[in-house]
Structure 1
Amino acid sequence: MSKSHTQNVSETQPKSNAIEWLALIDEQFRKQDYHQARNLILKALLIFPNYAVLLDRLLMVDPHWSKPIVSRGIHLAIPTESDFSFLQQCYDNEAFMQQLLPMGRKKQSAEAILHALKKSEFSVAHYRSMHRIIKKAVCSNLEQPLAQFNLKPIGLASLVDIQIAHRRAELLIGIPDQAERQRATAVVMMLIMDLSFNQIGLHKLTSLVLANNPHSQRSTVAIGFTQEGLRRQHLCDPQTRQWMDCYENGIVADDFYHNPVIARISRRLIGRNITVKPV
């Protein structure tokens, strides 16, 4: 009997306790075989349905992280290698990146971007982050009876610093063009909150906003986040070397499900009330 066949047989045998299942599952994580890891997690949960560590592992490979998100002409697309040029443009735009990533995260090289694109399907398991390209449908020929639509990339939306055990993530949305930003930001916010709370089952979203961007802070609070604090002199501007304050904002699941503003805006922008809790 071959070694590979022996391994396959051992993987299908019943395990006597949850620790043995975890050892087998974590081996698949080390191999980056996340499809197999998820299959094993689901089998283990049939025996140990409330085992917290198994539920944490399942969250990391939840297929909802990689499912398409579309509404009213706005697509939150999983990045592919065809998006490399747009991503590079975004990373080269220092003013835009300073607003999108105010925490001083290092600039990404072309090699790092390409490597991340190849791991985009299970980015949460691999990087503890989820990245989407914001694209809008643009009509390519208005004269045709059945208009053809192309998808134009206009920005980035991400969940970063995903804390699996605490069901928490930091939300980032960035659209370089101001005209596009005004039309699309609220739609993207609704779609990300719907994904986070209703489909993934996160408990909290956070958002850090530079204090020198009062418009963004007002918009964040108006959409449903609570200002939880002000981090004084928390960041150092890489260009001026001046210290900057930033606001710390958050929204927890209970507040999301009882927020009339989000209910009203989501009905208007994406045609449904996202604050209705899934059964």
Structure 2
Amino acid sequence: MQTFAACSLLEPASIIGRSGYSFDELPQYVVEAARQLHQGEHRKAIETLDVARTATAPDVPLDSIIAATAHCRQGNFKGALKVAERGLQQVGKNTHLLNCLGIALTGLNEHSNAQQVFLHAIQADAGNTHAFLNLAHVFLSQNHPDAAFETLQQGLRQNPGSNELEKLLLQIHPAWVQALVAGKLRLRTLAPSDEAFVLRCFTDQRFMTSYHRFATRSQSRRQIQSDLQQNPRLAVLNRKSVSWVVELAESTAAPGQDNSGYCPVGLVTLAEIHLWARRAEFLIGFPDKDRRGSGTPLAATLLLMDHAFNRIGFNKLTSIVYGDNTFSQRNTLALGFTQEGFRPDHLRDLNTGHWLSIYDNGMLKKDFRANARLKRLSKRLLGFDATRSRTDKTVFS
């Protein structure tokens, strides 16, 4: 059972360095076990310690930390639990052993106990970023992103500049899923109530051909239901993408209209999200042909661009257009994207077997800011200048 991937352990190379001991001060078997752990020889490290433990008792907690870490890396959580508990009885409260114990409990699905152990580890050493990360992951496994977010904020206050804490915090930031509203237009993240509309879009071959040709068009209703049941707050963390349904407020009832008075008309997605590069791919689609010729797609695009550049803080948006969709490519360039490349016969259509060329397009934040046409359009369609930089803090500071 390898649930370990979501947890954070002390790196083998740093175990001795963080212990306060030098190599010369340590028993040789501890040094050898640490070397084996560093080389990924987890079983050998455990065996080295087991043999030595029958002959002598170490005066440092490193043997228990190494053994518990090795067991965790093997996914042997019962073994890790036993070793960590024994080590804590021997040496008293130790933040690294507490972290291993919490991971073992997490692997055994004892989440409440794991939370308490990670909290003890943090209290013992607020500089233990692994304990903050693991406590956040426990909350996420229980579908409590707000608690995870608060934990990461606390961890960053104690450990400013921690890349690991910041990376996870950025992925579950509440700004990803906020509703975007301008006049009668609203973009909100997908919910279970959108099942009929999403199913309609995903089974419409014409829609998928331009929106996402190589996505699975034959998704069953059960698959779509399962996807929509997922917390959208975890979409960036789990799938590196987030999708919104485009809605219009209508005064009269319409098929698919929800209780709030909004009617779904399209989908927009930020996909292939790269946190470090501050970049994402932009996708947009409308199943009804009449909607495509209206101002709604342009308004939805501008609203999402405002969110991507001004709230999230992306430096670049990309747009991939299939070579047989020259109309979409013209519109993409007219919107302000720059064609950055053309890849002839780069893909093969799953249905026809024909080769497809690809246009690579991109828009930088600085070019978005300087685009006078988008400034005029956003003022007219959204009621504000979407190209203007906001003074409030973005997700990517």
Q: Provide the TM-score with structure 1 as the length reference.
A: 0.89
Counterpart of 2:216?
A: 106
CA distance in 1, matches of 2:118, 2:130: 19
Which residue of 173, 177, 199 corresponds with 2:288? 177
Q: Counterpart of 2:324 in 1: which secondary structure?
A: coil
CA distance change for structure 1 residues 92 and 251 in 2, over 3 Å: closer, same or farther?
same
Instruction: State whether structure 2 residue 374 is matched by structure 1 residue 259.
Output: no
- Greater mean deviation of Cα atoms: 26-35 or 64-73: 26-35
Separation in 2, partners of 1:270, 1:150: 19
Does the 8 Å contact 2:122/2:128 carry over to 1? no
Q: Residue 10 of structure 1 is aligned with which of 101, 117, 120?
A: 120
Q: Which amino acid aligns with 2:369?
A: Y
Q: Which residue of structure 2 lines up, in the alignment, with residue 144 of structure 1?
A: none
Matched, 1:58 2:169: yes
Q: Report the Cα offset of residue 197 of structure 1.
A: 0.9
Counterpart for residue 238 of structure 1 = 350
Deviates more, 1:124-133 or 1:221-230: 124-133
CA contact (8 A) 1:77 1:132 kept: yes
The answer to whether 1:91 aligns with 2:202 is yes
Measure, in 1, the Cα distance between the counterparts of 2:373 and 2:326.
Answer: 20
Match of 2:185 in 1: 74
Q: CA deviation at 1:190?
A: 0.4
What CA distance in whole angstroms lies between the structure 2 residues aligned with 1:133 and 1:262? 22
The structure richer in helix per residue is 2
User: How is 1:14-25 mapped onto 2 (pairs within 5 angstroms)?
Assistant: 14-25=125-136
Q: CA deviation at 1:166?
A: 1.7
Report the counterpart of residue 214 of structure 1 in structure 2.
326
Cα deviation code 1:144-197 (max 9, x no counterpart): xxxx98322111111111122222111110002222112211001101101111
Q: Which residue of 2 aligns with 1:277?
A: 389
**Cα distance, 1:90 vs structure 2:** 0.7
Cα gap change, 1:71/1:11 in structure 2, threshold over 3 Å: closer, same or farther? Answer: farther
Does the 8 Å CA contact 1:79/1:120 hold for their aligned counterparts?
A: no
Letter in 1 for 2:262: L
Partner Cα distance (1:57, 1:186) in 2: 32
CA drift at 1:89: 0.8
Q: What SS does structure 1 have at the residue aligned with 2:250?
A: strand
Aligned partner of 2:223: which letter? A
Matched residues in 2 for 1:25 and 1:64: separation? 18
Tell me, in whole angstroms, the C-alpha distance in 2 between the residues paired with 1:211 and 1:257.
28
Partners of 1:8 and 1:55 in 2: how far apart?
18
- Aligned with 2:315 (options 200, 203, 219): 203
- TM-score for both structures, normalised by structure 2: 0.63
Find the counterpart in structure 1 of residue 262 from structure 2: 151
1:98 to partner: Cα distance: 1.4
With over 3 angstroms needed to count, the CA separation of the structure-2 counterparts of 1:5 and 1:260, relative to structure 1, is closer
Partner of 2:301: 189
- Cα-to-partner distance string for 1:190-220 (whole Å, 9 max, x where unaligned): 0110111111111211111112111211111
Residues 1:12 and 1:21: Cα distance change in structure 2 (over 3 Å): closer
Change (3 A) 1:31 1:81: closer
- SS of structure 1 residue aligned to 2:261: strand
- If each structure's strand is expressed as a fraction of its own residues, which one has the higher value? 1
Q: Is the 8 A contact 1:160 1:169 kept in 2?
A: yes
Q: Secondary structure at the match of 1:212?
A: coil
Partner of 1:265: helix, strand, or coil? helix
- Secondary structure in 1 matching 2:269: strand
Higher mean C-alpha deviation, range 108-117 or range 228-237: 108-117
Label 1:11 to 1:197 Cα distance change in 2 as closer, same or farther (>3 A). Answer: farther
State yes or no: 1:117 paired with 2:225: no
**Structure 1 letter corresponding to 2:289:** Q
**Cα root mean square deviation, aligned:** 2.3
Q: Which segments of 5 or more consecutive residues in structure 1 lack a partner in the other structure?
A: 142-147
Unaligned runs of 5+ in 2: 1-111, 254-258, 392-397
In structure 1, C-alpha distance between the alignment counterparts of 2:337 and 2:164, rounded to whole Å: 29
Worse-matched range after superposition: 43-52 or 186-195: 43-52
Q: Which residue of 2 aligns with 1:46?
A: 157
- Residue type of the alignment partner of 1:55: E
CA distance in 2, matches of 1:105, 1:121: 19
CA distance in 1, matches of 2:210, 2:357: 13
1:127 is aligned to 239
- Number of matched pairs: 271
Task: Output the CA distance in 2 between the equivalents of 1:109 and 1:64.
Answer: 30
The alignment partner of 1:139 has SS state of coil
